[in-house]
Amino acid sequence: MSSSLIAVSHVYKSVTDATGTLDILRDIDFSLNAQQTLAIVGASGSGKSTLLAIMAGLDTPTQGTVHIAGQDLFLLDEDQRAALRAKHIGFVFQSFQLLAPLTALENVMLPLELSGHPNPKPVAKEMLARVGLSERLNHYPKVMSGGEQQRVALARAFVVKPDVLLADEPTGSLDHATGEKVMALMLDLNQELGTTLVLVTHDIALSQRCDQRLLIEAGQAQLIG
């Protein structure tokens, strides 16, 4: 187990509210080695975002474990988990989650600043250029289009060159050409830096560019061709 970069072992997730209990994930079990690319596919509401959030330690499983680089995510306390995440994981949310009071450039500089980078500005500018946003450095999220915000979120996740990039529909708000550029950027990082890529996508063509595809259906996962 500790030899894989990510090991998801017998993960269950149920949520209970006034209307009853919903079993979102039932016994999800797979592992990924460094440098692999995995697409997670499945219908809307099948639990893809829930699984990704559990893999990042942002949500907790009802049962089961997730190991990242040999560490059991849920045996760590909140601070240790945040430190592990900062060291290894980049996360792109389906809802972008940019910080509204910060410009595009400041949003991308922030993770570099938090990790003590000596010269964040040129590095952040370079990453924004790679996602095609050199002309939008000083714009605030509220004046950017959905696709532009998505690209800022991607630049923010990429800029620290994480070992693992977990991306929830990273091209979902982009036109075909821009989506292609972003996918190419993710695959470049996978090649150049050995970034392990886990990608939720509804786009069959994108999923086929990953090494493996994991289909989530009725709370269960299976690797498909």
Ligand X SMILES: Nc1ncnc2c1ncn2[C@@H]1O[C@H](COP(=O)(O)OP(=O)(O)OP(=O)(O)O)[C@@H](O)[C@H]1O
Binding site for ligand X (CB under 6 A): 15, 17, 22, 24, 42, 44-50, 94
Decide the pairing of beta strands 6-17 and 20-32. antiparallel
Nearer to ligand X, 133 or 198 (CB): 198
Q: Which does 46 bind (CB under 5 to 8 A by kind): Mg ion, ligand X, none?
A: ligand X
Structure tokens at 189: 């990082």
CB 199 → ligand X: shortest distance, Å? Answer: 13
Residue 47 binding target from Mg ion, ligand X, none, CB below 5 to 8 Å by type: ligand X
22 binds, among ligand X, Mg ion, none (CB under 5 to 8 A by kind): ligand X
DSSP 81-116: HHHHHHHHEEEE-TT----TTS-HHHHHHHHHHHTT
Per-residue mark of binding to Mg ion, 73-112 (x: CB under 5 A): ---------------------x------------------
The reply on whether position 201 binds Mg ion by CB under 5 A is no
Q: Can you read off the two tokens belonging to residue 204?
A: 């069959």
Contact footprint for Mg ion (CB under 5 A): 49, 94
